[in-house]
Amino acid sequence: MTTVVARPAVLPQSGHPLGSPWPASARAGAHGDLLVGGVGLAEAADRFGTPLYVLDEQEVRTRARAYRTALPEAEVLYAAKAFLCSAMADWVGEESLGLDVCSAGELRLAVAAGFPAHRILLHGNAKSPEELRLALRLRVGRIVIDSLAEIPRLAALTVARSPQAVLVRVVPEVAAGHHPAVRTGVGGQKFGFPVRGGDAAEAVRRVLEQPGLRPAGLHCHLGSQITEVEPYLTAVDRLVDLLAEVHDRHGVELPELDLGGGHGVRYRPGEPELDLADFARRVPDRLAEACGRHGLAVPRLLVEPGRAVAAPAGVAVYRVLTVKHGSDGRVFAAVDGGMSDNPRPALYGSKYAVRLVGRATDAAPHPVDVVGRHCEAGDVLVPGALLPADLRPGDLLAVPAAGAYQLSMASGYNLVGRPAVAAVDRGRARLLIRRETVEDFRTREVGR
């Protein structure tokens, strides 16, 4: 893999004529179509079928580049759990980002794609012995310690002459994120070591006792879809207090501080998103100030954006199968996808925008519940969407901000195969991931 750093860097764009949730390349096309990366979505749907996920390669690259430009002294790692495939690994790697993975599957895919293992960080609250052995064999750059049991387990696999760099995951008691299920910076959940009560300090002490482990720093992750900088500033203060405690007790200054990711994006016009420029200005300043108060050297900052890189680059395209008009005036448009390819509305009540593509119409907008095809009453993708009153079976609907936590969380519910993924770039489309078929399910069966 060749690292590319010569392209001009710009901050992510928002607010273009079609609305901020769409990729910056989105443009109105002929006959009501929508072009993304110079490719018509209706054309892509006809070529690859639906449901279809379209990824704008340049949007991914632009957003990755923006992080490197905004935070030139920090290390930026793309959070693979948002969405990972070989092409995505190539794109972020070529834009000089590292990779944050949380399973052997993500690690194996990345390395098989040619991503350098020394630029990979492995975390997770329940890493198996096999995953730890794999990470050591591949020589990943860092492993995040998430439990006391993991410390001796990992140390037993290492040798003192070649210690493994580790970060200790800390819970700074900062509540942030769009839903309780993703607020991981507070106590009472499965991740990390709370600062309060001394658990985090004890974990650092035990790591320091292991000659096969090299304590590189502290790690935290506050949550997901965070749109304000203030929670990160509070986390910096609390983590630097812990760095100072470690220095006072053990005479060691840990050289790295990882604030994780969770940077929020717009899913609908007018919604807030994290201001990267504001984050890049205020967080390093607060880190320097906090370290100055304690007389500490400023550790290197690490950040792990995933959604902020991938989500705005993706568009999901569905075909309408039925339109049902109820006696109460409600209208349901059922599409050929649903909670199997996007579980976020059912899990978190997530809200999306949606628009008709591939057909021009002068019909007035009318509230429509865009629902999925699955046998669940909760399989509702976009309730109350304003769509043309003449919406009919065969129409195509496009949903923006679909590049993160949809495909990566997709399931085989009702044995409906996961969708195909196509990349678009400067007027050309290519298939990245083929559609999952019934034969794929059958080949997993080994007996009856």
Catalytic center residues? 375
Alpha carbons 217 and 167: distance in angstroms, whole number: 5
Work out whether strand 120-122 and strand 142-145 pair parallel, antiparallel, or are unpaired. Answer: parallel
Work out whether strand 120-122 and strand 98-101 pair parallel, antiparallel, or are unpaired. Answer: parallel
Work out whether strand 300-303 and strand 256-258 pair parallel, antiparallel, or are unpaired. Answer: parallel
Alpha carbons 325 and 268: distance in angstroms, whole number: 26
Nearest residue to 152 (alpha-carbon basis) of 216, 103, 200, 206 = 206
- The DSSP secondary-structure symbol of 282 reads H
CA distances from 272 to 51, 176, 224, 346, 426 (A): 28, 14, 14, 22, 29
Question: Exposed, middle or buried: residue 166 (CB in 10 Å: 0-12, 13-18, 19+)?
Answer: buried
Question: Exposed, middle or buried: residue 180 (CB in 10 Å: 0-12, 13-18, 19+)?
Answer: exposed
Question: Exposed, middle or buried: residue 195 (CB in 10 Å: 0-12, 13-18, 19+)?
Answer: buried
Residue 258 forms beta bridges with which residues? 219, 302
